[in-house]
Chains A and B, each alone.
Chain A
């Protein structure tokens, strides 16, 4: 009958420092016995009284944590904001760098472009996991360390009004993460285009047409990358930037419509081999429509946002 009590007490004591253990044990046993006794006196069966009392005391791990003043959370309110901020900054910074560097190194060492891109993606992912794990672990330790909790070691200075973001940063229409993401994506596209044979598998250009077509799209992507950086520095769409964006979109749309419909772009042998040649024509038409729609919407959106930013 007392087996449950023994197990309960043992489970609590396991997580309590040695020097307090026997004292806690004696008091806990006395408390449990008192509580059961009074239930039994009130007419409860011995076994159900025992169960009721232990259930009431709750999870032994929680009781033990309470006895030894251990927090029941990984990162509490003291450190949560600092953790979140550190996490955002590092997650935005480190994985893209690791990814790009990996692609560059692999590519320089002679790996195929596709393989290099995959490796870069994998490396960025693993970097992100590492950032998340180590940053969190650091804060979990800080949360539990009395040295950090005391004012002696203050890793994070207190918040002051000087830290308020300027209204200029708040009004930003683009986040740094968004900009970095787009720029990295465009750099990858440029890499693919520059890499010889990168598109050969499913594209079939006349060599002369190909070099011109690639030069044009490279130019467009290059200008678009510059636009991303400029508009991030400006912080919002202006009518001028929106006009440049419109011109770029027109360029992209014309290039794609031409490339998809002139018959020069797609390597039909490639699709024949995949046995999806019948799909190529409708798919081309749908793709054309989608591309035109995206370019149109992107142009309009930039103008709308430019006007909104001017009205503010």
Chain B
């Protein structure tokens, strides 16, 4: 087996992950949360995202009406809480379908490979 280029693998991984950030946010924000808390949640779930990607993304989702926001001043410092809107839920459902369809397709090819080997 030849050497895998770690930089190449990192890039390919990142490309797949990039497509998943929006759906992750929409699903995670069914429970209202602020930027830094969401960062920690995603990190704990094994899908760490950069802060400088997440903060602008949340605003974009807000502008697109997929999440709603609210300033909460009860916390030790004022924080902007985001919550997935109804439109966001619909979009999340569509994206989930897409994600599942891709996973199914990938599995079809992967199983073919396994059965090829078994022959």
Chain A residues with CB under 8 Å of chain B are 20, 23-24, 26-28, 30-31, 33-35, 38, 56-58, 62-63, 66-67, 69
Contact = CB atoms under 8 A, between A and B. Distances in A.
A35 B51 contact: yes
9 contacts: A27-B79, A28-B55, A31-B51, A34-B35, A34-B77, A38-B40, A58-B52, A63-B55, A67-B59
B56 A63 contact: yes
Interface string B30-63: 0000111101100000000011110110011000
B51 A66 contact: no
Nearest to A24: B59
Contacts of B36: 30-31, 34-35, 38
A62 B55 CA distance: 12
A20 B34 CA distance: 18
A56 B78 contact: no
Prevailing SS type, chain A contact patch:
helix
B44 to A, nearest CB: 12
A38 B50 CA distance: 16
Prevailing SS type, chain B contact patch:
helix
Given A35-B36, A67-B59, A30 B52 contact: no
Contacts of B55: 27-28, 31, 63, 67
Residue from the set B50, B52, B53 with the largest chain A CB neighbour count within 10 Å: B52
B80 interface: yes
Contacts of B51: 31, 35, 56-57
B35 A69 contact: no
Given A34-B36, A67-B59, A69-B60, A27 B52 contact: no
Contacts of B59: 20, 24, 67
A30 B56 contact: no
A310 to B, nearest CB: 44
A33 B50 CA distance: 16
Given A30-B34, A69-B60, A57 B80 contact: no
Nearest to B59: A67
Contact of A56 (B37, B40, B50, B80): B50
Nearest to B51: A57
A30 B60 contact: no
A244 B117 CA distance: 65
A231 B64 CA distance: 59
Nearest to A27: B80
Nearest to B53: A66
A35 B35 CA distance: 10
Contact of B80 (A26, A58, A67): A26
Contacts of B56: 63, 66-67
B55 to A, nearest CB: 6
Contacts of A56: 50-52
B21 to A, nearest CB: 13
Contacts of B60: 69
Contacts of A62: 52
Interface string B63-107: 000000001000001111000000000000000000000000000
B80 A30 contact: yes
